[in-house]
Amino acid sequence: MASLAEISRICGVSLGATSKALSGKPGVSDATRQRILSVAAQTNYRPNRLVHAIQRGRSMTVGLTCSDFHSDFGGRIVEGMLKVLYEASYDPIVINWDLCVHEGEKVLRTFAERRVDGLLMFPPADQPSQDYLQELRNLRRPIVVVDQVFAGCECYDFVGSQDFEGAVAATEHLLALGHRRLANIFFRQTSTGRARLEGYQHAMAQAGVAIHGKWLCEIGQYESNEAYVRTRELLASPEPPSAILCFNDWVALDVIAAATDAGLSVPRDLSVVGFADLQMSAHIRPRLTTVAQDPREIGRRAAARLVSLLEDREQAPAVGKIGEAAAVAQAAAPVSERVPVKLEVRDSTAAPRGVGK
């Protein structure tokens, strides 16, 4: 593989002329450009992107942090991101929060040292420390937060789902079927969980239906058997619910399993609604009624927003340092965008016993 200097020597031109020809810049004749391009192709020349990054002040790389690559939902968000980044000629540097959960500040310093142009960030599982937030501010590059929000990220752009509106639609669906003993298994540790709980509470209040504390079940981990245990407790109580609204589809699967093991039929004895519309939701039996999110679109919009911020930075007047230019790019009021959701009514919901007969 030839170097820039070797191509210059073969063609008998200066390094500057060779660089201009290979980068498509003006300043060389068409004949010289074609000769240089021909020699570059014959010698298998490949540009040094590190040198270009130093010259342009852009590395054409984007940091991407995610805590749940193995999940259906998180994986599809990343899929949407990667498609946009590829089309915009950005390379991702991907780091899994799960592997660096105790070294959040180090992760951000790694991105800064690698001179990423911007950051697409799934928040870590726990509320970040003050040291972490300071490192995030020190990064001084455009940042787009994805799916979840956390205290301290208010100054960054955000792309997620209509969690509140989805919970409202799911609750209204159950109320319209005639359910009044409507339980909610929620996960308050995330912003999405809090928004879905608020949507349920809002819809119940609008309908004038009382929310009984015994039907509100908070879980600390939705990937454990906690939802199953709490559902068995609910169903064994003197006044069991006739329907359960679940934080997500995984919780809904545990609820259906608990009901089945208790000798109940879904939806004849208990209606169940999930949230996310994971790929398996339409394939289980009964098919799950759920609030469908669009994770690929979330990822696409998040990456497109970051690329837009980076292109705006490129067009802005030079201000001396890369970090200062990045600060200019995100100096405007942050943008918050929520991708619409849709209630998918399937087989796990029906009118409660004795209603409509």
pLDDT tens figures, 246-272: 999 999 999 999 999 999 999 999 999
Domains of the chain and CATH, by start: 4-47 (1.10.260.40), 57-161+295-337 (3.40.50.2300), 163-294 (3.40.50.2300)
Residue 320's pLDDT band, with cuts at 50, 70 and 90, is: very low
For residue 232, report the phi and psi dihedrals to the nearest 5 degrees: -60, -40
Q: Using one digit for the tens of pLDDT, what is the confidence trace for 69-92?
A: 667 898 899 999 999 999 998 999
What CA–CA distance (Å, rounded) separates 187 from 205?
20
CA distance 86 to 74: 18
Distance (Å) of CA 54 to CA 8, 18, 322: 21, 18, 10
Is the pTM of the predicted complex or chain greater than 0.85?
Answer: no
Dist. CA 101–CA 68, nearest whole Å: 12
Q: What is the mean pLDDT of residues 217-243?
A: 93
